[in-house]
Structure formats: structure tokens, C-alpha cells
A and B are shown apart, each in its own frame.
Chain A
Amino acid sequence: MVTFSIVQLIPLLRSLFSRPVTERLPRPPGQPEPARFPGSVQLRHVDAGSCNGCELEIASAFGPVYDAERFGARLVASPRHADGVLVTGVVTRNMAIPLAKTLDAVPRPRVVVACGDCALGGGPFAGGYGVADGAWPLADPDVAIPGCPPGPVAITQALRALTGR
């Protein structure tokens, strides 16, 4: 059942009333593009054959230190609730159709965010026997986050560019 212990509450209340550990992220230099989803963007993450390196970085990007949620970005469970898909991994043959279906389920206007070198053209696995080459929808992603894996700062800045915050 629901157990409350005073021991459990003390550190919780302490962190509630102290400064958060989130790092301040300055805006990247240069002219910012107009935000495609000003203020709020929800993304549906699809693992299309990744080694989980990008997933760990994404988890870190939504964690306490880098906290992408403060810029209005959020991961959601259903593509119908999302504004786009966040794809990691080289698109394997088995994941080609499910990825296409997931993107098709997203209501327009929608974006494709390719995270990691694998999603951007194969990375170390390009040309493998299980890889679906030139798979739509990653043929021309709207946002590209290069890196193997890209760091949480890069991911957060890319999401921030979508919301313009």
C-alpha cells in the first residue's frame, strides 16, 4: 500500500525548496530559425534498430541535469498525440514498415527528427545485410542531430530550436 515515511519525505522536501541541479544552457550562436512549434512540441521516440547509445543520451537529455522539458519538449506514448517522430538507429528491414506507419499516424504538421549518425545515413552499420537502405522517411529528415552518440546538450539544443524557447 501507499507508505509514507518521514525519512523518505525529508530529502524530497529539501530538493523541492532548493535550487534545481539543471544546468543553464545558453542559446547557440547565430540567427535562430523561426520555431516550427512555438512553445510546445511532443515527439514519439522510435527505436528503428539502434544500439541504445542514443537512447541513453536522450534519457540523459530529459534527466535532471539537462532537462529538455523546460523548453516545452516532451516525449509521448502515442504518435497521435505527437508532432513528429524522434528516430534513433539505422532503419532495419523489419522496422521500415512500422516506422512508416508510426509517421503516418502523426497528425500534420509533423517533423522527422533523426538522432545519431545511424539515422543520418547508416553510421558504422551502413550497407549491412539487415539494413533497409535509403528508407523513407529518413531520406530527408527535418531536424538532424549528428554524433555517435550525440551528447545530451546537442539533443536539447535541437529540441529547443523546434520550440524557439
Chain B
Amino acid sequence: MGQMRIMGIEGDNKMTWDPEKLVETKAVKKHFENHVNNPDKKKRFMAFYVDKEGKQGKKMDVFDPKAGMIILVPPIAGG
């Protein structure tokens, strides 16, 4: 089972899907695309995935249904 966590005002919104089921995968992919490829750069999220072994975060630009846990992070800015 894949898992995508989209950070939000009320905490992260969790989406799960079965990679074998195309409909579920397409729905999650649509959410991924909407956030990561948002036409407005100021609203564009960054996507990371965390492998279960090392739990090291890795950046991803294209949706991978077989990634362990995808985390969508809102725009980061310097202070």
C-alpha cells in the first residue's frame, strides 16, 4: 500500500492507495500533480519520499506509485 501525506493547515492529509488498482493510483497521482506542478510557483509543493529502511528523505518530481511514503511539503522560503 502506498501512502501520501500532504501537509496542510490542520496537519497532514493522508492518502493511501493500492498500486495494483489503477483508479486509486490515478486519483492520488492527480493530487500529486496538482500540488507539485501547480502553475503558481508560490503555491507549488515539493515532493519527497522516505524509504522504509534508511528513512532518508529523497526528492521526487514524478509520481511513483511504488514509493513507500510520499510527503508533499508546502513552499519553503528563506527568512
On whether the two chains bind one another, the answer is: no
Q: Which residues of B line the A interface, CB within 8 A?
A: none
